[in-house]
Chain A
Amino acid sequence: MPSVLLIEQTLNGLQFGLMLFLLAAGLTLVFGVMDMINLAHGSLYMIGAFLAAWLVGLTGSFVIGVLGAVGLTGLFGMALEAALLRTLYARDHLSQVLATFALILILNDGVKMLFGTDLPLSAPAALSGPVELLPGLQYPAYRLLILGVGSALAIALYLLVQKTRMGALVRAGASNRAMATAMGTNISALFTLVFGIGAALCAVAGALLGPLLAVQVGMGENILILAFVVIVIGGIGSIRGALVGSVLVGCIDTLGRTGLQQLFREFLPAQWASAAGPAIASIAVYVFMAVVLAVRPQGLFPART
C-alpha cells in the first residue's frame, strides 16, 4: 500500500476508533459496574444523531445542533436509567436482554414516529474541503475535527476517571461493587450521572459520524455489536481497556477493508477482491476478539479484582 494511503487509512481507523470509544466508554461502565447488558446503548447513539440532525436543521448552526443533541441525549439517558434500567441491575442477564431488546424496538419506532426513517445531516460548509497535512496528503477537514474532538474527549474522560474523586468511586465500583457499597459509596445515585455522561458521549459519536455515515433508524444496531467487541477485548469495566480496544478495532476494521482489498487484487479478480476485502475485514475484528479471549480471558486490561 502506498504510504500516503497508509497514513490516510490509519487516520481514518483512528477516527473511527475514537468514535467507537465514545460508545464503548458508557457501555463498559454499565456492564462492568452494574453487570448489566444494555442492548439499547446503540439506540442512544441513534437518538443523538437524530436530535443533532433535527436541531441543525432548526437552528442552522452545526455547533448549536450538536451541543443541544448531546445535552438532550444525556438528560434522556439519565431519565431512562432512573425510570427503568435501575430496576434491571439486580435481574439476570436474560431479563436484561429482553428488556433492552424491547427498548430497541420502542426507541427505533419512536424515532421513526417523530422524525421519519432518516434525516439529512451534512458537515458544516467551512469544513467541507480538504486540508493538506503533508505534501501530497490531502485529508478532509471534517474528519480532522472528529479526530480532534474524539482525542480531547478521550483525554478528558481518562482524567475524569483516573484523577477525580468521582472517577475513583466509579473505578471502585467496577473492581468490586459490593465492597464499594459497603465502604459507603452510594453507587446507584452516582450511576445515574455516569449513565447520563455515557449517553451524552453516544450522542457526540452519533452526531459527528452522522454526516459521514447516515442518520437513519437502525444505525445503532451494528455499531453496538462493535462496541461490545471493544469492551470484551479491552476488559469489561475498564476505561483504559475500552480506549485501547476501540483504537485497535477501528484500525483493524478500516485498514483491513482497504488493505485486504488491495492484497486480494494481486491474485483474485477485481470483483471478488472488492467483495472479499470488506467481508474478511469485518470478520477479522471478531477473530481478533476470539484470540484475545483465548489468550487473556478477562480482556487486555481487566478491571475486576
Chain B
Amino acid sequence: MAPPIESRSSEATGPAPVDDLPMVARQGRIDTASRAALLILAAAALGLPFILQALGSSYYLSFASRIVIYAIAATSLNLVLGYAGLVSFGHAAFVGLGAYATGILISEGVVGGGWHLLATVAVTGLAAAVIGAISLRTRGVYFIMITLAFAQMLYYLANSMKGYGGDEGLNIRARSLFGFGAIAYDLKNPSALYYTALAALGASLLALDRFGPSRMGRAVVALRDDDVRAEALGFPTFRLKLVVFVVAGVLGGIAGALSVNLQGYVSPNVLHWTQSGTLMVMVILGGVATVWGGLIGAAALLLLQEMLSAYTDHWEFWTGWVLLAVVLFARRGLVGLAAGLRSPRARTG
C-alpha cells in the first residue's frame, strides 16, 4: 500500500513549495461538467477560423495563433518551472533558437518544413542539453542567474549576426512548406498555421496531462519537493532534471519556429530577458504546475493586453496592476482561483 500523503506545508524549509497539493492527485477524476467544458472549448478552438472567416476579421485569427504559440512556450516552461521546480529565467533562449533556426534556413532558401522541424529540434535539444548540463549543477538563485546568463549570451550573439539581420532582425519571405505526396501544406496560409499550432498545443497538453500521474512525472514532482530525499530514494535526479529541461527546451523551440512563421520576422528581442520574464509571468499567472496553467496564463495576459490597448495607450500600466493584484490575492494563479471558487475547501492552501 502506498504511504499516505503527508502534509508538508508546516515543516517546509527552503523555498516554499510552489503548489501545496500536487495537481496530479486530482487528475484522472474529470467530472462530466469538466468533460463537457473541454469538448466545447476544443470545438470552439477548431471552429474558430470558420467563425472568423464568416465575420471577415482575419486579424483575430493571427491573434488566436499568437495566443496558441505563446501557450505552447508557456506550457513548456511550466514543465521546468512548475513540475520540476527549476526556476529557469532563460526560457526565451530556446524559443529564440527555434525561431532563428527556422528563420535562417528559410532565408537561405530551404523552405521544407521537415528540415525546419529537424533543425529546430536538433539545435534547441543540443543547446538545452549543454545549458542544462552546466546550469543544473547549481541550485536556487544561482540556477536562476545562470540560465539568465546563457539566454543573455545568445541575445548578444544574435545581435552580432550581421549576416542575418543583426540587431534589426531578419525578415523572411517564405514560410515552412510541408508536402504530403501531392498535397502542399503551406504555413503561409493563416488557417494552416493556426491548426498546426493548435495541434502542437493539444499534443503538449495531452502529454503533460499523462506525464503528471506517470512514474516519471511523480519522480520529477518528488525531486522538486525535496531533491535530497528523492536522490536518497534512488532516483537519478540529475538525469531526470536534464531530460525535463531538454524536452521543455525543444518544445519552446517549436513554439519559436511557429512564431517566425506567424510573424515572418525574427529579431534578437525574442531572446531578451523580458521575454523570459513574460513567459514566467504567464505561467505564474495561469497556475504553476498545472496542465492548463500555460494556456490560461498566455490567453489571459494577451487578451488583457489586447483589450486594454483598445482603450488606452498605457495598457502596460494597467496590466501591471492586474498582475500585482493576482500576486497579492490569487496566490495559486487563475487555475487555483477557479479551483477555489468551485470547492471552497481548496482555498485554504
Contact = CB atoms under 8 A, between A and B. Distances in A.
- Binding between chains A and B: yes
Interface of A: 31, 37, 39, 84, 87-88, 91-95, 97-99, 101-106, 108-110, 112-113, 221, 225, 228-229, 232, 236, 271-272, 275-276, 278-280, 282-283, 286-287, 289-290, 293-294, 297
Given A88-B327, A95-B327, 18 more contacts: A37-B141, A93-B87, A93-B141, A93-B144, A94-B18, A94-B81, A97-B87, A98-B280, A101-B280, A101-B323, A102-B321, A102-B327, A225-B152, A225-B273, A229-B149, A278-B160, A280-B160, A293-B146
Given A94-B81, A289-B149, A279 B141 contact: no
A39 B319 CA distance: 16
A101 to B, nearest CB: 5
Contacts, number: 129
B15 A92 contact: yes
B284 interface: yes
Contacts of B137: 294
Given A275-B162, A276-B160, A92 B138 contact: no
Interface in B127-181: 134, 137-138, 141-142, 144-146, 148-150, 152-153, 156-157, 159-160, 162, 166
B122 interface: no
A294 B319 CA distance: 39
A111 to B, nearest CB: 10
A31 B140 CA distance: 12
Contact of A286 (B18, B150, B285, B328): B150
Contacts of A286: 149-150, 152-153
B160 A279 contact: yes
B331 interface: yes
Of listed A87, A113, A286, residue having the most chain B CB within 10 A: A286
Contacts of B320: 102-106, 109
5 contacts: A91-B16, A91-B327, A105-B320, A279-B160, A287-B153
A105 B15 contact: no
Contacts of B213: none
B105 interface: no
Contact of A283 (B81, B146, B157): B157
Contact of A98 (B146, B148, B316, B326): B326
B138 A94 contact: no
B324 A103 contact: yes
A257 to B, nearest CB: 12
A101 B89 CA distance: 12
B277 A97 contact: yes
A297 B284 contact: no
B215 interface: no
Contacts of A97: 87, 89, 277, 280-281, 284
Contacts of A275: 160, 162, 166
A95 B331 contact: yes
Contacts of B87: 93-94, 97
B314 A112 contact: yes
Contacts of B331: 95
Contacts of B156: 279, 282-283
Given A289-B145, A290-B146, A98 B160 contact: no
Contacts of A104: 320
B323 A221 contact: no
Given A229-B145, A236-B141, A293-B138, A279 B321 contact: no
A243 B141 CA distance: 20
A113 B138 contact: no
B79 to A, nearest CB: 15
A132 to B, nearest CB: 35
A278 B156 CA distance: 9
B68 interface: no
Given A101-B280, A110-B317, A286-B153, A94 B323 contact: no
B285 to A, nearest CB: 7
B288 interface: yes
B277 A113 contact: no
Contacts of B326: 98
A102 B280 CA distance: 12
Interface string B81-94: 10000010100000
Interface in B291-349: 314, 316-317, 319-324, 326-328, 331
B96 to A, nearest CB: 15
